[in-house]
């Protein structure tokens, strides 16, 4: 099921906002769309990753951030570059690298994973303001919000004040209603 806003925005579209009571008007260009992909289970977003690779091969600058996935020598300092235009960043420590029982029994490990995901979020916030990328994918960000690693209000504020001219794609399972209301397009992936 795909639902979306009836509004179509282009780079030439301007929104008009009254700044104060002295009738001054400020114009600014549209920031691109917020797209949400939701699924009832994790790991269902391979099509989004495939599309990000295709977009990069077509010349768009793409940033793919996987909050809840990690790997050997990953993290902000070890981003993977593909097709010259896709920057793929994973958490330096993540839940999928360890046994869940080991994480629960080791408070230092759990803290390290949370700090790594939060560091990735701070990096993501800077990139949303930089305007460098034409598309950003924030994979499983809603799980990080649900686990209280990333503050929901901080996410909303960051998305409202982003500078990216392209699309921001967010994925996850349990999506807060406030964020659903912000979306230009919501896609529900079913098995």
What pLDDT, on the 0 to 100 scale, is given for residue 48?
A: 84
Tell whether 180 is covered by a domain: yes
What does the alpha-carbon distance between residue 90 and residue 116 come to, in Å, rounded to a whole number? Answer: 10
In this prediction the pTM is: 0.78
Helices (H), 131-164: 141-146, 152-160
58 within some domain: yes
**Distance (Å, whole) CA 45 – CA 128:** 21
Does some domain include residue 18? no
Query: Tokens 């809603």 sit at which residue?
Result: 142
Domain of 107: which CATH number? 3.40.50.300
Considering its fold, how many domains does the chain have in total? 1
Distance between CA 51 and CA 18 in Å, rounded? 38
Find out whether 52 and 62 touch, Cβ atoms under 8 Å: yes
pLDDT of residue 120: 94
- Domain assignment present for residue 150? The answer is yes
Where do we find the tokens 């503050």?
151
Q: What is the pLDDT of residue 163?
A: 81
Walking along the chain (191 residues) 10 residues at a time, the average pLDDT comes out as 40 39 47 85 74 91 89 80 90 78 84 91 93 92 92 94 86 89 88 67
| Residue ranges making up the domain that contains 162 | 32-189
- Residue 111 belongs to some domain of the structure: yes
């Amino acid at each position: 099921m795909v639902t979306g806003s009836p509004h179509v925005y282009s780079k030439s579209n301007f929104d008009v906002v009254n700044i104060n009571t002295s009738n001054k008007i400020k114009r600014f260009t549209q920031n691109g769309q917020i797209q949400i992909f939701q699924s009832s289970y994790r790991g269902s977003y391979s099509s989004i990753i495939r599309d990000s690779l295709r977009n990069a091969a077509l010349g768009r600058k793409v940033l793919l951030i996987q909050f809840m996935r990690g790997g050997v020598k990953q993290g902000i300092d070890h981003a993977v570059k593909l097709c010259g235009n896709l920057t793929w960043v994973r958490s330096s420590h993540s839940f999928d690298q360890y046994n869940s029982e080991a994480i629960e029994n080791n408070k230092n490990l759990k803290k390290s994973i949370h700090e790594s995901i939060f560091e990735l979020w701070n990096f993501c916030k800077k990139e949303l303001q930089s305007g460098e990328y034409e598309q950003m994918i924030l994979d499983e960000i809603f799980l990080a919000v649900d686990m209280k690693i990333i503050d929901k209000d901080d996410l909303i504020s960051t998305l409202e004040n982003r500078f990216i001219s392209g699309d921001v794609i967010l994925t996850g399972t349990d999506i807060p209603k406030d964020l659903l209301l912000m979306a230009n397009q919501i896609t529900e992936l079913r098995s």
